Structure 1
């Protein structure tokens, strides 16, 4: 028994040690708010009780019981209305909430409700032999109001002492008296343990959140904690503030959706979070300081913070990596001499187009091109001039075709154009214009000309990509031979 008492003392000592002011503020705000809700409920309830006192219990012969009950109900109604009147002012005052006055107000009101419950039960004992009101209030206080044990224990003990003494004078049967004393005392002890455990858990949760906040701030990467329902920012570390270009003063107006290019990105992410609880290595563009967009790698976790479901987002700036990736992709897909697509990239696109055409039923035209007399230019004027010839041809063709047309270097002096939205006669007209422009190019010591071969792809034909290129190549070769004979 002594060990149990010692453990209880240590537990109480641990709970009543010096508490951080931030926790006191947070707890007082909640207690004041709950007192307000309770006062609203009691005001409505006591109005009904007064109706019962004056109308429903009008025929009760025990007038002393009625008068005492009326006084208790009026007094309870009065203190509830007073609290409702002062609450709008005190809830806005951080100075008051952080002061001892707030604690005194909270403890005083809770103590008054306990004392009125004890008085009401003593009065009921005289009339009906029950102390249910006191039992209900004791349990209600323990569950609703998470008071520090240093205040909760004295409040319960004083109220219970008054009930205990009252029962001595109102219960005349010794067995009934002992039963009520035992049951009410057991209820108070259980309620005390409930209240202390709730307060202890609340304090632990606060310290957990405080440690979380410290780890949150010292993390070397931007971190953002937002509510899942409306995207409101709950916490954000300094690195994230700098990255997104936000000030702490404006955070109340900022929503997580503002960082995304479109709301669908966030909606899709939340859907994955709800299914799996996390989203790893999601790479996308987000709006940062000055309205600029940067590539970021995001890791999301679904967490509970402050009793609400929240999203913890870890942000890594990968803009430089994306730029390197884009540069590597450029080198992998672009021909360095001409600036157009290279063979690998062009054939990959063309192969995809062929597959899609078989599904969609849409046709396209492939044009195979060869630069005439490149070997002669290389041998006579040097390879640098030969490169200039190739670049000149590409530049003129590039200026004449449209954005949706595919133009790539097939190899050496051979090129391919793919027209997806033109008829054959339109391609012929375009080619005639290109030929004229090539011949009118700034005078060179040689004639600039090209040969071409066209093939129109029909989705109903069973033709491979290589077969198409070979047929177009043959058409080009026939034109080249014709030009040689004409010269």
Structure 2
């Protein structure tokens, strides 16, 4: 990264954030951005009270950004005790940054721009349907659900086409008695978002919401909205696409990608995602935990002598044993091969060593028909303030190595420098 290139962005009055598309870390925020949002992490900005976007992982935007498509997100800014929406235009970073990065350019906004909900809006020119007009024919014959909305009238729905009435389950007259916040799961929090969208020139690319149907069902939708003038009345035309099935498939694929296919427990990717989410969204809760690395002793000999099917049975048994043996707050992951990583939140070294020794004994008591009893070696490390994950994992890995070279079937603790601070030899 060429920091000298990025520092030039500080002369801009427009807030600018540069974010890694893969790790979703904020790589740089210019002076205007820091003045507006302080040192806020990306998670609260993208997932706050008024936040709306079409893609959760930022890297999903890359193909469209490379084609030059216009993409907008709405962020939540907290300042002076108030929260308000900020629209951000996305583009690819071109500042000598090696990894794929996205520029978020915020519009000029302030908490004063947040609309106050007025239950008695001033009278405006009413919208009237022209049954014979071109717009009416286009509107009603379109197969996509479409709504006409009056943003200045608290999001009043002034018209709905036939596709929308079928989708939502209301008659046309019933739809026109509702406001957008009554069909949106965000409730009245959608009003500041709607006003922010209405300010965008030419409308916006899709944003994702959850809408409520007449029967109470919730549907994931992407909306395309833009300003229109109908018979002299300024309105917003909103086109709705139901993406519920797409979301379900995406979530199933994401869940599958985070699970080990053999044992059904979380995999390495899930662990890294969990740690990253905790670091970006709850950093105050990530400073007191321990890690435990568990390795099945002589596992290669089991595969070689009894076959890979018995080896797989052994790994499944070990995963189930670790799952049932840990505390409710702990989580076990298959790290790779015959290694399992266990995360112990709010746990110091003494507590982690106690859990590790308990697991070592429980595993030794398990019986798998047709093969000898299994033992495990365990390395334990407590997180040290300011330590990065690479250093922490090296310490726990070194502790496991020491446990194995010291005779296996034992628990070993690591110090900050990776030297041994204590071990629990096997008890018989």
Q: Return the TM-score normalized by structure 1.
A: 0.51
Whether 2:139 is the aligned partner of 1:216: answer: yes
Which blocks of at least 5 consecutive residues in structure 1 are unaligned? 1-201
Partner residue of 2:379? Answer: 453
Whether 2:216 is the aligned partner of 1:291: answer: yes
Deviation at 1:287, TM superposition (A): 1.9
Whether 2:244 is the aligned partner of 1:319: answer: yes
2:333 pairs, out of 396, 408, 411, with 408
**Whole-angstrom distance in 2 between the partners of 1:321 and 1:432:** 45
Cα deviation 1:154-202 (Å, max 9, x = unaligned): xxxxxxxxxxxxxxxxxxxxxxxxxxxxxxxxxxxxxxxxxxxxxxxx9
> CA 1:410–1:268 in 2, change beyond 3 Å: closer, same or farther?
farther
Q: How does 1:221-260 map to 2 (within 5 A)?
A: 221-228=144-151, 229-248=153-172, 250-260=174-184
Cα deviation 1:362-408 (Å, max 9, x = unaligned): 23212111122322221232211211211222223234446764532
Cα deviation 1:123-146 (Å, max 9, x = unaligned): xxxxxxxxxxxxxxxxxxxxxxxx
**Whole-angstrom distance in 2 between the partners of 1:317 and 1:284:** 10
Deviation at 1:298, TM superposition (A): 0.6
Aligned residues: 282
Partner residue of 1:337? Answer: 262
> CA 1:483–1:361 in 2, change beyond 3 Å: closer, same or farther?
closer
Cα deviation 1:223-272 (Å, max 9, x = unaligned): 11122223332111121112112233533543321222122552243132
**Whole-angstrom distance in 2 between the partners of 1:380 and 1:304:** 78
Q: CA RMSD in A?
A: 3.3
Partner residue of 1:373? Answer: 298
Whether 2:313 is the aligned partner of 1:395: answer: no
> CA 1:427–1:308 in 2, change beyond 3 Å: closer, same or farther?
farther
> CA 1:307–1:396 in 2, change beyond 3 Å: closer, same or farther?
farther
> CA 1:456–1:429 in 2, change beyond 3 Å: closer, same or farther?
same
Deviation at 1:410, TM superposition (A): 1.9
**Whole-angstrom distance in 1 between the partners of 2:283 and 2:163:** 52
**Whole-angstrom distance in 1 between the partners of 2:132 and 2:193:** 25
The question of whether the paired residues in 1 share the 8 Å contact of 2:267 and 2:333 is answered with yes
Q: Return the TM-score normalized by structure 2.
A: 0.57
Deviation at 1:361, TM superposition (A): 7.6
Whether 2:193 is the aligned partner of 1:262: answer: no
Deviation at 1:284, TM superposition (A): 2.5
**Whole-angstrom distance in 1 between the partners of 2:253 and 2:167:** 26
The question of whether the paired residues in 2 share the 8 Å contact of 1:272 and 1:279 is answered with no
The question of whether the paired residues in 2 share the 8 Å contact of 1:364 and 1:457 is answered with yes
Which blocks of at least 5 consecutive residues in structure 2 are unaligned? 1-124, 410-424
2:154 partner SS: coil
Whether 2:360 is the aligned partner of 1:435: answer: yes
The question of whether the paired residues in 2 share the 8 Å contact of 1:369 and 1:452 is answered with yes
Deviation at 1:332, TM superposition (A): 3.0
**Whole-angstrom distance in 1 between the partners of 2:284 and 2:323:** 29
The question of whether the paired residues in 2 share the 8 Å contact of 1:226 and 1:312 is answered with yes
Q: Judging by fraction of residues, say which structure has more helix.
A: 1
**Whole-angstrom distance in 1 between the partners of 2:132 and 2:187:** 30
**Whole-angstrom distance in 1 between the partners of 2:227 and 2:217:** 28
The question of whether the paired residues in 1 share the 8 Å contact of 2:165 and 2:175 is answered with no
Q: Judging by fraction of residues, say which structure has more strand.
A: 2
2:199 partner SS: helix
